């Protein structure tokens, strides 16, 4: 006789299976909730993985080093209308804050606090701009400094494909925490080439202050000068300027000189270089090694970087520079023994200086001058430092971009070495056009096996076993 009692229903095999299934589901839910709670306490730098090809949300080793050494607390205000944050900027800020407890991120709704910026700048920043505040000073990073266009055409149509987030943010953090902001004076009055706005922006982004300087009517270089830059003079300096610059260097001042080929003689300027044991030979250097220049243009040279404090970061990163239309620098045999002269950018030994620069014949002639030459030389004395470059064309924006910014890095590293600035922020922008999910070949193979073979295989095997079991029944 079958029992119809209520308790007997809990003893059936269906109830037991249902109970086991329910408990299994509950166990899975509890595990998922537990894992999510655990993940909340894991720093974002371990849980938020950047899969973009260009590393939009990754931070470089240089940024790691800067953040590791932070001693001051920093607050970064993200100014957003309606608290609607730009995804790329927000993700990058999370990475920075996750790396160190010295950084605090605060989102400011500018629709509620429209004048929040007033304590930091006179001009209203664009939506999704940043304010980086440290104990020493603050810096505003406008949205249109974070996003820029790679071409004027893109900019015209409002398409911004370059993301400068890490570059601008790391530079700002360095700016608000550093004790040293070197002052660079750029000499004028000799038809010097004007540094491009892009180069000036790079200099200021590296936390150097730059100001124009005319020595007319002055008896000395301003006392706050950490370096005087002479950017490709086309006319000679005066005797009075020579005396001022000589006195400045003998009193511990530093010079960064960029010389170009000029047709007229500049004897006083040449004397200034001779004070540092250097001179520039006539003509333009042509490279004899066809693997070291742009095809058909032997005066667009890929030089060798010689180990030096200035070049070490580029050598370690396997970066290459490009020097067009460079003159040859040589050290004088009669140079003062107290000077330490170090060439750090050189063409090959087969390079020669072509005297007739208008000749269509690129072959070496008897009048051409043999090397070895230097394109960049550092000089140290007991009092100060000097760096000489033999072309300004390596700082052309198009030339610089052709070598992934390495020419600017070399220039900034030279300023840092001259001014004894321990760090330079050589973080490069990232192109959003190349952004895509990117994985290595080994991971790609594993994903293929899992998604195409294992998972479908499990489903097929399960279906086969179920069908076989039903058939046997």
CATH number at residue 163: 3.40.30.10
The CA distance from 229 to 213, in Å, is 9
Burial-class residue 193 by CB neighbours within 10 Å (0-12, 13-18, 19+): middle
* Whether residue 101 is found in the same domain as residue 232: no
pLDDT in tens, 332-366: 888 788 889 999 999 999 999 999 888 888 888 88
pLDDT at 30: 80
Query: Helices (H) and strands (E) in the chain — how many of each?
Result: 15, 23
* Whether residue 189 is found in the same domain as residue 166: no
pLDDT in tens, 198-223: 899 889 888 899 999 999 989 999 99
Q: Is it the case that residue 441 has pLDDT exceeding 50?
A: no
* Whether residue 294 is found in the same domain as residue 232: yes
The CA distance from 263 to 172, in Å, is 43
Distances (CA, A) of 144 to 162, 168, 186, 290: 10, 11, 27, 42
Q: Which two tokens stand for residue 410?
A: 């070399």
Cα 231 off chain centre by: 23
Entry pTM? 0.72
Rounded to 5°, angle at Cα 296 from 295 and 301: 65
Q: Is 48 part of a structural domain of the chain?
A: no
**How much is the average pLDDT of 445-453?**
70
* Whether residue 225 is found in the same domain as residue 303: yes
**pLDDT, mean over the chain:** 85
- Asked if 225 and 248 count as a contact pair (C-beta separation under 8 A), the reply is yes
Q: Which domain CATH number covers 336?
A: 3.40.50.880
Taking Cα atoms as reference points, which of 401, 440, 435 lies closest to residue 57? Answer: 435
Ranges 19-23, 277-281, 317-321: which has the least confidence: 19-23
Q: 442: how many CB neighbours lie within 10 A of its CB?
A: 8
- Given pLDDT bands bounded at 50, 70 and 90, which one contains residue 178? confident
Of the three residues 418, 446, 461, the one that is the final residue of a domain is 418
Burial-class residue 292 by CB neighbours within 10 Å (0-12, 13-18, 19+): middle
Number of domains the chain is built from: 3
3-state helix, strand, coil in the chain (%, to 5): 40, 20, 45
Q: Is 238 part of a structural domain of the chain?
A: yes
**How much is the average pLDDT of 82-111?**
92
pLDDT at 445: 62
- Asked if 415 and 208 count as a contact pair (C-beta separation under 8 A), the reply is yes
* Whether residue 97 is found in the same domain as residue 140: yes
Taking Cα atoms as reference points, which of 183, 166, 164, 266 lies closest to residue 228? Answer: 183
* Whether residue 137 is found in the same domain as residue 187: no
Q: Is it the case that residue 169 has pLDDT exceeding 80?
A: yes
* Whether residue 165 is found in the same domain as residue 66: yes
The CA distance from 287 to 293, in Å, is 7
- Given pLDDT bands bounded at 50, 70 and 90, which one contains residue 172? very high
Is-cis flag, bond preceding 372, omega within 30? Answer: yes
* Whether residue 112 is found in the same domain as residue 188: no
Enumerate residues 6+ apart whose C-beta is below 8 A from 161.
149, 150, 154, 431, 432, 433
pLDDT in tens, 383-439: 889 999 999 999 998 999 899 889 999 999 999 999 988 666 566 667 777 544 444
* Whether residue 379 is found in the same domain as residue 269: yes
Domain range enclosing 80: 54-174+430-434
Q: Please give the share of the chain, as a percent, with pLDDT higher than 70.
A: 82
Taking Cα atoms as reference points, which of 78, 132, 141 lies closest to residue 110? Answer: 78
- Asked if 375 and 324 count as a contact pair (C-beta separation under 8 A), the reply is no
* Whether residue 246 is found in the same domain as residue 168: no
Q: Is 107 part of a structural domain of the chain?
A: yes
Residue with tokens 């990232």: 430
């Amino acid at each position: 006789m079958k029992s119809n009692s209520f308790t007997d229903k809990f003893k059936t095999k269906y109830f037991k299976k249902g109970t086991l299934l329910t408990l299994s589901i509950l166990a899975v839910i509890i595990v998922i909730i537990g894992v999510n709670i655990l993940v909340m306490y894991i720093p974002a730098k371990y849980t938020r993985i950047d899969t973009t090809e260009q590393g939009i949300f990754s931070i470089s080793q240089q940024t790691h080093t800067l953040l590791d050494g932070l001693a001051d607390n920093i607050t970064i205000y993200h100014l957003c209308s309606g608290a609607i944050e730009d995804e790329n900027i927000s993700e990058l800020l999370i990475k920075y804050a996750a790396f160190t407890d010295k950084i605090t991120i605060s989102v400011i709704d500018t629709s509620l606090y429209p004048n929040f910026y007033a304590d930091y700048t006179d001009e209203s920043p664009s939506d999704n701009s940043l304010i980086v505040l440290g104990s020493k000073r603050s810096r505003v990073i406008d949205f249109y400094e974070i996003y820029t266009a790679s071409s004027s055409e893109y900019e015209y149509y409002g398409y911004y494909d370059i993301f400068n987030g890490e570059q601008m943010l790391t530079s700002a953090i360095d700016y608000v925490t550093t004790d040293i902001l070197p002052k660079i004076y750029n000499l004028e009055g000799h038809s010097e080439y004007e540094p491009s706005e892009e180069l000036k922006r790079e200099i200021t982004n590296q936390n150097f202050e730059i100001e124009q300087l005319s020595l007319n009517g002055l008896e000395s270089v301003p006392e706050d000068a950490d370096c005087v830059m002479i950017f490709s003079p086309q006319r000679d300096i005066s005797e009075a300027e020579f005396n001022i610059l000589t006195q400045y260097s003998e009193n511990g001042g530093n010079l960064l000189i960029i010389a170009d080929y000029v047709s007229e003689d500049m004897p006083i300027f040449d004397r200034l270089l001779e004070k540092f044991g250097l001179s520039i030979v006539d003509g333009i250097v042509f490279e004899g090694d066809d693997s070291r220049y742009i095809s058909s243009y032997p005066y667009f040279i890929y030089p060798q970087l010689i180990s030096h404090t200035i070049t070490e970061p580029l050598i370690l990163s396997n970066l290459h520079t490009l020097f067009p239309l460079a003159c040859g620098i040589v050290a004088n045999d009669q140079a003062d023994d107290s000077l330490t002269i170090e060439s750090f950018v050189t063409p090959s030994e087969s390079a020669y200086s072509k005297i007739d620069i208008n000749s269509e014949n690129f072959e070496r002639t008897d009048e051409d001058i043999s090397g070895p030459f230097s394109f960049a030389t550092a000089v140290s004395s007991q009092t100060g430092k000097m760096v000489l470059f033999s072309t300004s064309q390596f700082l052309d924006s198009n030339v610089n971009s052709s070598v992934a910014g390495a020419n600017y890095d070399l220039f900034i590293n030279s300023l840092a070495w001259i001014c004894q600035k321990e760090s330079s922020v050589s973080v490069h922008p990232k192109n959003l056009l190349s952004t895509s999910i990117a994985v290595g070949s080994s991971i790609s193979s594993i994903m293929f096996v899992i998604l195409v073979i294992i998972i479908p295989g499990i489903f097929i095997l399960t279906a086969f076993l179920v069908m076989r079991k039903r058939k046997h029944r």
